[in-house]
Amino acid sequence: MAASETVEIKASVEAVWRVLQASIEDPGSLWPGATARPLERRAGSLLRQITLDGVTATERVTGFPARHEVDAVLEDDGELAGQSRLAIEPPLRPGLACRLTVSLDWRRKDGGPAPDLGEAVRGAAQRARQAAEGG
């Protein structure tokens, strides 16, 4: 089930980016209750097994510093397919808040009911805001 949340963050793009970068190695810092185990490191990406709201999946996580974006694509090894995306939109002019969009779309390959991870997405957006704003 697809879920998305956008929040305004009164912090620099760089401060928000640091929060997103930290979540690549430690998704629990951003995603409430998430745990992960690294499986493979490559230049620019990390393959990890993540458990989120009781659902376990393997995903390839890639950070794109120039775009201020972190993408995680599920690997083709289980019953789920999909991706998540964390993207920062810079402010239109100095002094305004930047915007962070957290989206997650995990679907069952067999067409069955997808896990409802909307609460996790909302929690991740709020945690990112708090961490970037220094709270």
**H helices within 10-117, ranges in order?**
13-25
Cα gap 86→71, rounded to integer Å: 6
pLDDT category of residue 54 using cuts at 50, 70 and 90: confident
Residue 59, pLDDT > 80, answer yes
Ordered by where they begin, the domains of the chain are 2-132 (3.30.530.20)
For 73-93, the pLDDT digits (tens) are 999 778 899 999 999 999 988
- Residue 135 confidence class, pLDDT cut points 50, 70, 90: low
The residue with tokens 């409802």 is 116
